[in-house]
Amino acid sequence: MIPAIVRSSRAALQRSLSTAASTASSSLNTIAIHGGESVDPHTKASTPPLVLASTFSVTEPLSFSANELEDDSPYCYTRWSNPTVRALEQKLALLEGVPATNAVCFGSGMAASTATLFSFLQAGDHVVAADVNYPGVAEMFRHTLPKFGVRVTTVDPSDLNSVETAAQQPNTKMIYVETPTNPILRLCDISACADIAHDVDAELVVGEKCIFFLPFL
């Protein structure tokens, strides 16, 4: 159970849903087993060896700023990227039908949520958040984000009218939902919420730690 952010466009979401619907389940099983994996060129291991190193040697000088990393930067420091984590990200991206660089794995659910909220939001922004979320995430909306100047409106996301109404602020940058919600298992329509978010040029974020729901299902 590894928390991950998978960034999906509307087209990718539809492609992934129709692929999942039309493909025999063995295809997804095959991707789940073999996707993103290749024979290790050094040891010839048929499954990727676990790489536990925290630092890697590099041949060219490399900036120590995460802002200057490129998708093809060499491994340097495991906090930024690591072959084992990268293999998992590639597998998740394949299962979701999105480009490999659209998946990022984290060490915990709160790390993934916090990174997403602080990366996409800034002071002056407005976010529409579900009125029930995993408690740690709910506290982010109740206390932490308002402290940093982000305004939060909470709604029941299973009521699409209230989501749409709340999202009409000129500074609405994000709609955040969980489905099924932790802990009450309430569902919401991801595709409809994505349409509402994209209509106002905002991001839809779906928080789900794979406890109740696997991403590609």
Ligand X SMILES: Cc1ncc(COP(=O)(O)O)c(C=O)c1O
List the alpha helices (DSSP H) in 35-123.
Answer: 83-96, 109-120
Cα 51 to Cα 46, 84, 154, distances in angstroms:
15, 6, 42
Provide, rounded to whole angstroms, the least separation between the CB of residue 128 and ligand X: 17
Chosen residue from 91, 126, 173, 209 binding ligand X by CB under 6 A: 209
18: helix, strand or coil: helix
Q: Site residues for ligand X, window 137-176 (CB under 6 A)?
A: 137
Chosen residue from 87, 116, 134, 152 binding ligand X by CB under 6 A: 134
Provide, rounded to whole angstroms, the least separation between the CB of residue 18 and ligand X: 26
* Comparison of 5 and 93: residue with beta carbon closer to ligand X: 5
* Token duo for residue 209: 């730690």
The b-or-e profile of 70-101 (16+ CB within 10 A means b, else e) is eeeeebbbbeebbeebbbbbbbbbbbbbbeee
* Comparison of 34 and 143: residue with beta carbon closer to ligand X: 143
Provide, rounded to whole angstroms, the least separation between the CB of residue 134 and ligand X: 4
Tell me which stretch binds ligand X (CB under 6 A): 27-35, 64-72, 163-171, 201-209: 201-209
Q: How far apart are CA 159 and CA 78, in angstroms?
A: 42
Q: Site residues for ligand X, window 85-124 (CB under 6 A)?
A: 108-110, 113
Instruction: Based on the shown chain and the rule CB under 6 A, indicate whether residue 132 belongs to the binding site for ligand X.
Output: no
* Comparison of 176 and 197: residue with beta carbon closer to ligand X: 176
* Comparison of 102 and 114: residue with beta carbon closer to ligand X: 114
* Closest alpha carbon to 193 in 174, 170, 217: 174
Q: How far apart are CA 188 and CA 11, in angstroms?
A: 19
